[in-house]
Structure 1
């Protein structure tokens, strides 16, 4: 059984004291593929070091996170473009729109999102979308950019069944993580109406730890708890089958 964590911030400062031990715990649970989203240029060096330390397990993305779209966003986008031109990445992400923290930057968030989608098309890469309180705004951009070469993952999907279907219609897989284990997460109420062929697993560690670790630091090994919850949601489909299907889905998206 090979389990893929399609979204984990292994370079986070939250892991500075025990990063290698934490990764070993995940590997011991058969979590052996880690896809690493970017935030901004300040994390690039640590991401590259992580890949150097775990070349068979770590796969990097490049992008500018929407909450880091600030006054210097054009410099940051130049960095993204320079890195994509320089070496191999497996996705442009995480990118998108976040209106939870700051609504005043909506205009430049939309601009950065659209620009990075176009970079992904240029380099024939998937996108990994961050969406918080911004489904309408995200879908508006995707509608203008939709094409055969637009595809990727709707990271940390927390929407409704209709929004799930809309995301899938834009060639997006749904990234399912700890929220599926929350009593108030809501997605567990309809997820079994979505084929497993449209789903990938993620942790978003160190954030959004699943039950029974909710409120604590998340780590990639805890993806087992998400797997167990999905087995329950999908009426006792085995952990191995869900792991196999979702890993194959991740291969279809990332090409590795």
Structure 2
């Protein structure tokens, strides 16, 4: 029994990987036990649309879908993938275009088609008046000029799994983006804690990116959305506020961005 009630929001989780299984039900129950009552689900490709939507249908008050083509899924057939996702956007209510972005960690050779896919999906977001949920790995130098090229009053969203410098954080904020803070903030040598200390909470949302990047004390193991509590605990400690206050502010931020 909790002494006080609040709602934590996981703004980026792939919990839908367990769609239709007992594991999904178990993980959702553990979320509810930790007062994590709102989860935003980004797909990564055409194949992941169905599990995202079935999970959102199973938990309509708690799970909110996003649709996009992940940069690591941008291959030679990316235009066909985009066409399938665009068709799905016409059939489903979604709360963001994502996750989309640039990833130069795995494959630098696809940068130009990653950029093309990104531009296409940003155009969808603007047309639908939706935020974008950005994946950026080892590509800040390429991402920021692209965002500046596309910047207008309709471009906004979340820079998911932010692990950059304070300067990069400020640049993202200046471009109209909130920072998705996840498990890396709990890693002792990552340096993200020092950055988060300097950022106003109005620019922060919380996320797990489950099943990836589990926070301490689960680092190296499979992540799940219920572990958001450990991320919230760390950020609350850095900001010297209660978890309830942190939950209130970051959930309000998520509501402002995603419209729910």
TM range (shorter): over 0.9
Any gaps of 5 or more consecutive residues in structure 2? Answer: 1-5
Q: CA deviation at 1:123?
A: 0.4
| Mapping 1:61-210, distance limit 5 Å | 61-210=66-215
- What's the offset of the Cα at 1:87? 2.4
User: Are residues 1:243 and 2:247 paired?
Assistant: yes
- Count of residue correspondences: 255
Aligned equivalents of 2:187 and 2:43: distance in 1?
Answer: 26
Distance 2:58 2:189 in 1: 38
1:67-97 superposed Cα distances (whole Å, 9 cap, x missing partner): 0001110011111211122221100000000
Instruction: Report the aligned-residue RMSD.
Output: 1.2
Give the Cα separation in 2 of the matches to 1:181 and 1:15: 31
Runs ≥4 residues deviating over 6 A: none
TM-score by length of 2: 0.96
- CA shift digits 1:129-155 (9 cap, x unpaired): 000000011111101000111000000
Alpha-carbon distance in structure 2 between the residues aligned to 1:193 and 1:122: 34
In the TM superposition, 1:11-30 aligns within 5 A as 11-12=16-17, 16=21, 18-30=23-35
2-structure distance, mates of 1:30, 1:71: 42
Write the distance in 2 (CA, Å) between the matches of 1:210 and 1:107.
33
Deviations 1:189-211 (A, max 9, x none): 12111100000000000000000
